[in-house]
Structure 1
Amino acid sequence: MSIINGESGKGSDARLALTAAQAGAAVVRDLYGGRLARYDKSAGDFATEADLAAERAILDVLRAARPDDAVTGEESGRSGAADARRRWLVDPLCGTLNYAVRTMLAGVNVALREDALVMAAATADPFSGEVFWTDGDAAWVRSADGTDEQLTPTAASALVDVNLDPPFPDAPGFQAARLLADPGFAERFRPRVISSTLAVAWVAAGRRAAYVTDGDLRDSVHFAAGIALCRAAGCTVTGLHGEPVLSGAGGLIAAADPETHAALLELVKHQTP
């Protein structure tokens, strides 16, 4: 599917998100396994040359097609008007540590926020060739051969992915490690930790029953695409305490169905002082 400069409309934005994510994924895939320079960002966090190169490829696609839109990139920061109605949120390599140690669990996230809503988004898996994408109304996965299949969430796996990466901004009110240690969690679910928001797309696709994280996710380059995918696919998506997601520093419970969401909400409630 091609993108024509100046083409407008929700469907066009979704195709642009998909194309940009594919461009970033191609770079990540091509550089995998090589000796990559590392750039320290903060304690325990770093970027590699693959992160930077993938972001450049994504921004080249976005700026060629939408030169007037604002952008927030994980590596390059914010550009464009601070109060822009349209802002692209770009995470060129989610799962950098996995990638740096040659573990093929990483995603490339591209999302468009228009006013308060994410209207188009894509998460690409560089290694499977799949791209999970949405126009805000429905969600699909595009396979490596170019065919699209609509996403159908299901909790049948009972697998719940939990973000265990520090810092833990909601502690002591919520700590993911305590959630996993709760007997009620073990009775119903099985934990998984892939350390990439690719797992949020997997909830929309029915490959995970749910995903749980804390933190402030407003305008998050990491989570915007996955949340949009889950919403469009029909998942139950809220903050950690049932509040509207992205309404504050409330984290995320994205669940395949209301029953799974209610069970996780109750388990989180057990931790609240």
Structure 2
Amino acid sequence: MNTSAPSPASDARLAVQAALSGAAVVRAMYGTSLARVDKGAGDFATAADLAAEEAILDVLRRARPGDAVTGEESGRGGTEGAARRWLVDPLCGTLNYAVRTMLAGVNVALRMDGSTTAAATADPFNEEVFWTDGDGNGGSWLRDAEGTDHPLSPSAASRLVDVNLDPPYPNAPGFTAARLLATPGFAERFRPRVVSTTLAVAWVAAGRRAAYVTDGDLRDSVHFAAGIALCRAAGCVVTGLRGEPALSGPDGLVVAADAETHAVLLDLVREVRDQG
């Protein structure tokens, strides 16, 4: 019997397969009348979230029955403290999706020994999947609708910065993303975008956004793990709002295509804090 551990490449292929399985469900159920499950504080899931997560878990359980899983809708499963844990966000952008706006992502990531060793973010409507086989150590690619892989290449040329304006705001009143947009320095240098899905984090890795900024505690976040891994593997600069290592505390995220853009955004964040 073969008892060797799965390779990063085979884990990455599985992440892509799982994300595409979830994306197929999201695409098929788009525009239908969907039951909602209230999650409190204005948050909810739809029947598509639940069905997509089940499709993803099905793929993962068949291929890696011994791995632990954390799903956005189903919670934690498997052995607590397991060395291998999959993080699954079956439909990031639920509110967009529920009001028939085609801005959503499907996120699948594998955390192993503190690192994300495989990750995929699928765009259900453009039939693209962004993927990597290593958190800062492997490569990162875009697989198009024809199944061809293209290396991800970050670029700040667009000057577009996606900002998450959704609560909670753990760093308020010292910092809120809305105040960042109001600083003269931001308007002089960048143009804001708000798509309300972590698909935009993958877009930084792909050169479609110059940067992404959010507040919040993102440690072991099913929403952000895949996108952060993609950006690190592509060579983006990834930190918290104070420049500290990302995912080390409740201090949000700044992902930038290059060091210059990252430094400017950290200065602007500091300016907002100083004024607060």
Q: What TM-score range do you get, normalising by the shorter chain?
A: over 0.9
Distance in structure 1 (CA, Å) of the matches to 2:150 and 2:234:
12
Q: Deviations over 1:100-150 (max 9, x none)?
A: 000000000000000110000000000000000000111000001000000
Distance in structure 2 (CA, Å) of the matches to 1:86 and 1:174:
35
How far is the alpha carbon of 1:271 from its aligned partner?
2.0
Distance in structure 1 (CA, Å) of the matches to 2:153 and 2:197:
21
- Aligned pairs for 1:198-213 within 5 A: 198-213=199-214
Q: Deviations over 1:146-170 (max 9, x none)?
A: 0000000000000000000112121
Distance in structure 2 (CA, Å) of the matches to 1:173 and 1:77:
32
Matched, 1:31 2:29: yes
Distance in structure 1 (CA, Å) of the matches to 2:215 and 2:113:
24
| Residue identity in the other structure for 2:190 | F
- Shifted more, 184-193 versus 7-16: the winner is 7-16
Give the TM-score normalised by structure 1: 0.97
Matched, 1:80 2:92: no
Distance in structure 2 (CA, Å) of the matches to 1:211 and 1:101:
24
| Residue identity in the other structure for 2:207 | G
Distance in structure 2 (CA, Å) of the matches to 1:254 and 1:42:
29
How far is the alpha carbon of 1:246 from its aligned partner?
1.1
- Aligned pairs for 1:76-155 within 5 A: 76-136=74-134, 137-155=138-156
User: Partner of 1:272: helix, strand, or coil?
Assistant: helix
Q: Deviations over 1:14-44 (max 9, x none)?
A: 0000000000000000000000000100121
- Structure 1 runs of 4+ with >4 Å offset: none
Distance in structure 2 (CA, Å) of the matches to 1:135 and 1:173:
37
1:116 to 1:7, Cα distance in 2 relative to 1, 3 A: closer
Give the TM-score normalised by structure 2: 0.96
| Residue identity in the other structure for 2:199 | L
User: Partner of 1:87: helix, strand, or coil?
Assistant: strand
Aligned to 2:10: 12
Distance in structure 2 (CA, Å) of the matches to 1:215 and 1:162:
12
Distance in structure 2 (CA, Å) of the matches to 1:173 and 1:163:
16
Distance in structure 2 (CA, Å) of the matches to 1:96 and 1:252:
21
Q: Deviations over 1:160-192 (max 9, x none)?
A: 000001121211121000000001000000000
User: Partner of 2:262: helix, strand, or coil?
Assistant: helix
Aligned to 2:227: 226
Unaligned 5+ residue runs, structure 1? 1-5
Q: 37, 41, 44: which one pairs with 1:43?
A: 41
Unaligned 5+ residue runs, structure 2? none
Count of aligned pairs: 268
- Shifted more, 80-89 versus 29-38: the winner is 80-89
Aligned to 1:3: none
Distance in structure 1 (CA, Å) of the matches to 2:152 and 2:233:
9
User: Partner of 1:271: helix, strand, or coil?
Assistant: helix
Q: Deviations over 1:208-252 (max 9, x none)?
A: 000000111111000000000000000001111100111111211
Distance in structure 2 (CA, Å) of the matches to 1:45 and 1:84:
29
| Residue identity in the other structure for 1:252 | L
How far is the alpha carbon of 1:204 from its aligned partner?
0.1
What fraction of aligned residue pairs are identical, expressed as a percent? 76
| Residue identity in the other structure for 1:87 | R
